Amino acid sequence: MMAIPAPELDDLQAISQRWGLKISDGDLAIFKALIDGALGSYHEVDAMYEASKPSAPDRRSHRPDDADNELGAWYYRCDIQESDSGPLAGKTFAIKDNTTVAGVPMMNGSRIIEGYVPLRDATVVTRILEAGGRILGKSACEDLCFSGASHTCATGPIRNPWDKTRTAGGSSGGSGALVAAGEVDMAIAGDQGGSIRMPSAFCGAVGLKPTFGLVPYTGAYPIEWTIDHLGPVARNMADLAAFLTVIAGPDGDDPRQSNAPSGIDYTTGLNDGIEGLRVGVVAEGFGYEGLSDPDADARVRSAAHRLADAGAVVQEVSIPQHRDALHVWNVIATDGALWQMIRGNGYGMNYRGLFDPEVMEQTMRGWQSNAHLTSQTLKFVILCAEHALSHTGGSAYGRASNVRPQINAAVDAALVDHDVLCYPTLPFAAKEIPSADAPVDEYVARALEMIPNTAVSNVTGNPDLTIPVSGGDGLPVGMSIVGRQWDEATLLRVGRAYEKLVGGFALSPMAQARVGG
Q: Which residues are catalytic?
A: 96, 171, 195
Q: Which residues pair with 468 in a beta bridge?
A: 478
Go through 85-108 and write b for each residue having 16 or more CB atoms within 10 A of its CB, e for each that does not. ebebeebbbbbbbbbbbbbbbbbb
Q: Exposed/middle/buried for 460, CB within 10 Å: 0-12, 13-18, 19+?
A: buried
DSSP per position, 170-209: SSSHHHHHHHHTTSSSEEEEEESSSTTHHHHHHHT-EEEE
Q: Are 483 and 422 in contact (CB under 8 A)?
A: no
Helix (H) or strand (E) holding 511: helix 509-516
Phi and psi, residue 166, nearest 5°: -110, 160
Q: Which residues pair with 76 in a beta bridge?
A: 138
How many CA atoms does the CB half-sphere of 421 hold within 13 Å? 30
Q: What are the C-alpha distances in Å from 395 to residues 392, 399, 402?
A: 5, 6, 10
Contacts of 158 (CB under 8 A, 6+ apart): 71, 72, 73, 140, 150, 167, 168, 170, 173, 174, 177
3-state secondary structure of 313: strand
Q: Are 306 and 272 in contact (CB under 8 A)?
A: no
Q: Are 185 and 133 in contact (CB under 8 A)?
A: no
Number of CB atoms found within 10 A of residue 437's CB: 6
> What is the spatial distance between Cα 116 and Cα 112, in angstroms, rounded to a whole number?
10
> What is the spatial distance between Cα 226 and Cα 228, in angstroms, rounded to a whole number?
6
182: left (phi over 0), alpha (psi -120 to 50) or beta: left
Q: Which residues pair with 187 in a beta bridge?
A: 94, 233
First to last CA, the chain: 49
Go through 208-226 and write b for each residue having 16 or more CB atoms within 10 A of its CB, e for each that does not. bbbbbbbbbbbbbbbbbbb
Helix (H) or strand (E) holding 128: helix 123-130
> What is the spatial distance between Cα 482 and Cα 419, in angstroms, rounded to a whole number?
9
3-state secondary structure of 46: helix
